[in-house]
Amino acid sequence: MARSPTGPKGGKGKGGNTSGRGQRDLKVKVKSARGRKMSSTLWLQRQLNDPYVKRAQAEGMRGRAAYKISEIDDKYRFLLPGARVVDLGCAPGGWCQVAAKRVNALGERTGKAQGSVLGIDLQEVEPIPGVELHVLDFLEDDADERVKEWLGGTADVVMSDMAAASSGHKQTDHLRIIALCEAAAYFAFDVLDEGGVFVAKVLAGGAEGDLQKLLKQRFKKVFNFKPGASRSDSSEKFVVATGFKGRE
């Protein structure tokens, strides 16, 4: 469930003058090494030239995905001071970093901690200031009860940037991530407080209709959003469901 790590830093080059004209970012080209697949070479080259990767490195974020949740929250405003947040499949932790700051989990704005962020993943995650981390499979029968115990109650936000392992077959991958998103939604039904918010990544591909229908039954409003930090050639988008109607 881990997201792709950021690559090495790229550099900036200057033209041969001192006026500032002609200054530009130099694209890094990666030569194919013996034994390395071309797809790996292209991925590495894209990472080295990705402005969000460079920004994440400069700002100490754990991946470019941090800017996706930042943009989503800028638009829909759910990571409010005092909110209790659960991040499913949180590795490497970029979403948790953003959430901890915005809900004021460390008390940086007021001198006293307000919100709380709980990150869970199948693997151990390096500690993040203001975030409580646990190794847990959210599909386990008692996962919802354990999460509420750790939170000390229900959650205001359940969010997920999870993606199933790629099979290389577009339609198969689409179905897998929709199934994962539906499972995350049912988990959210069990842990969200009334009025809560659910945010999850999906891949466009035609099978998300049932998910949309399910969410519209349980939330007052459902939106679809593709943040600028999502790569233009990616079919990913994010579903944002607000105003949880409560458990049946």
CATH number, domain of 171, equals 3.40.50.150
Domain of 74, in residue numbers: 66-244
Query: How far is 188 from 155, CA to CA, in rounded Å?
Result: 9
Q: Is 228 annotated as a binding residue?
A: no
Tell me, yes or no, whether 72 and 98 share the same domain.
Answer: yes
Residue 167 is predicted with a pLDDT of: 74
Annotated active-site residue in 68, 170, 201, 216 = 201
Domain count, the chain: 2
The answer to whether residue 215 is domain-embedded is yes
The answer to whether residue 143 is domain-embedded is yes
Greater model confidence, 49 or 18: 49
Tell me, yes or no, whether 102 and 35 share the same domain.
Answer: no
- The question of whether 201 is a catalytic residue gets the answer yes
Q: Is 161 annotated as a binding residue?
A: yes
Question: pTM for the whole thing?
Answer: 0.78
pLDDT(1) > 70: no
Q: Is 137 annotated as a binding residue?
A: yes
Q: Is 95 annotated as a binding residue?
A: yes
The answer to whether residue 10 is domain-embedded is no
Tell me, yes or no, whether 83 and 131 share the same domain.
Answer: yes
Q: What is the mean pLDDT of the chain?
A: 82
Tell me, yes or no, whether 51 and 129 share the same domain.
Answer: no
Q: Is 173 annotated as a binding residue?
A: no
Tell me, yes or no, whether 39 and 119 share the same domain.
Answer: no
Answer whether 69's CB lies under 8 Å from 119's CB: no
Residue 10 is predicted with a pLDDT of: 39
pLDDT(160) > 90: yes
pLDDT(5) > 80: no
The answer to whether residue 17 is domain-embedded is no
Query: pLDDT-derived band of residue 49, with 50, 70 and 90 as boundaries?
Result: low
